[in-house]
């Protein structure tokens, strides 16, 4: 896969409503499709794929290219975005490590997927070696 260098436009910090936050405890220790997460917290599936993912929401992709979101990791990410922007928000060049449960550097990212709305890069966590994924809005990413 092609090596990509990222240039990403500035974006606003993700905001969540109090109603969405209040629904987080219903998320469980399981993998959800973006549409299922959306239903649980009362947003559209489009909000998840076009807004949350490019804002650093943790996720995994299976062999068929489907996106899966771990319920508890999603809840942790939302809370960290809300509570402490510095820690929870992913900077450009970072990805969320599901094992370390924190933002880690995404070094030498490889382009794994390019869709209409979302571009996905994958790398390896320096600390634990897990695969880490980072999505950006397709409109924001330019490959050199």
Q: Between residues 30 and 128, which has the closer beta carbon with respect to Zn ion?
A: 128
Q: Which is nearer to Zn ion, 41 or 135 (CB)?
A: 135
CA-CA-CA-CA dihedral for 46, 52, 58, 64, to nearest 10: 20
CA distances from 110 to 3, 90, 107 (A): 5, 18, 9
List residues binding Zn ion (CB under 5 A). 97, 99-100, 125, 127-128, 130
Which secondary-structure segment (H or E) carries 47? Answer: helix 45-47
CB of 56 to Zn ion, least distance (A): 15
Least distance to Zn ion from the beta carbon of 101, Å?
A: 8
Q: How far is the CB of 76 from Zn ion (least distance, A)?
A: 14
Question: Shortest approach of Zn ion to residue 104 CB, angstroms?
Answer: 6
Which of residues 50 and 70 has its CB atom nearest to Zn ion in the complex? 70
Q: From residue 18, give the alpha-carbon distance in Å to each of 24, 106, 143.
A: 10, 31, 37
Q: Give the span between the Cα atoms of 60 and 3, in whole angstroms.
A: 20
Beta bridge partners of 121: 111, 134
Q: Which is nearer to Zn ion, 50 or 124 (CB)?
A: 124
């Amino acid at each position: 896969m092609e090596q990509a260098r990222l240039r990403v436009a500035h974006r606003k910090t993700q905001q969540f409503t109090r109603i969405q936050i209040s629904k987080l405890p219903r998320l469980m220790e399981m993998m959800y499709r973006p549409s299922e997460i959306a239903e649980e917290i009362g947003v559209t599936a489009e909000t998840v794929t076009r807004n949350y993912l490019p804002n650093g929401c943790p996720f995994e992709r299976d062999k068929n290219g489907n996106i899966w979101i771990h319920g508890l990791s999603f809840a942790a990410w939302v809370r960290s975005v809300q509570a402490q922007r510095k820690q929870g928000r992913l900077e450009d060049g970072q990805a969320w490590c599901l094992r370390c449960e924190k933002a880690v550097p995404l070094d030498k990212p490889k382009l794994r997927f390019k869709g209409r709305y979302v571009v996905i890069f994958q790398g390896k966590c320096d600390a634990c070696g897990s695969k880490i994924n980072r999505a950006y809005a397709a409109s924001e990413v330019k490959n050199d």
